[in-house]
Amino acid sequence: MMGTRSGSIDPGILIYLIRHRGYGAEQLDHILNQESGLLGVSGISGDMREILEAINSGNERARLAFDVYVHRLIRELGGMLAVLGGLDALVFTGGVGENCPGLRARVCEQLEFTGLRLDASQNAHPPLDADVAAPDSRVPVLVIRAQEEWEIARECYQMVRALGVPSV
């Protein structure tokens, strides 16, 4: 589940929408990629900051959207833990991972069985690119700046060098 994308869904939902609502491919694409996720559940926004503001104002649909988001995230992490056979570190990054202490706290609480323990004060105001795990945690909990723009620039530079384009 993302801001406006559904994430994993039961394929029966798609068949139902095609057969009983007459939806076509374009409509399904639009709904699943632009009207689902946080936006679809909350009815407010796909932006986690706006969801959190609405929760603070007592909006129950925003609370439900946040809870479903956390549930889905934990479910996916559980699957990864099982496939990988454990956890070396938990990394939060990107807009939500870097900026949502409540999400990090809920996820880490659910993963305490792995020996992971979050430092609540560090989590509340984490320095980026830092470990916010409690001192007795067996698993590091990292909050890492995504720096997507830097990565794009670096890849472009590498491509230009590989093609032999003169520097400006």
| Domains with residue ranges and CATH for the chain | 1-86 (3.30.420.40), 87-168 (3.30.420.40)
β-sheet bridge partners, residue 143:
92, 130
Q: What is the DSSP string of 40-61?
A: HHHSS-S-HHHHHHHHHTT-HH
Does position 127 have pLDDT exceeding 90, yes or no? no
Exposure pattern of 33-64 as b/e (b: 16+ CB <10 Å)? eeebbbbbbbebbbbbebbbebbeeebeebbe
Would you place residue 165 in the very low, low, confident or very high pLDDT band (cuts 50, 70, 90)?
Answer: confident
pTM for this model (two decimals): 0.84
**What is the tens place of the pLDDT at every residue in 16-36?**
999 999 999 999 999 999 999
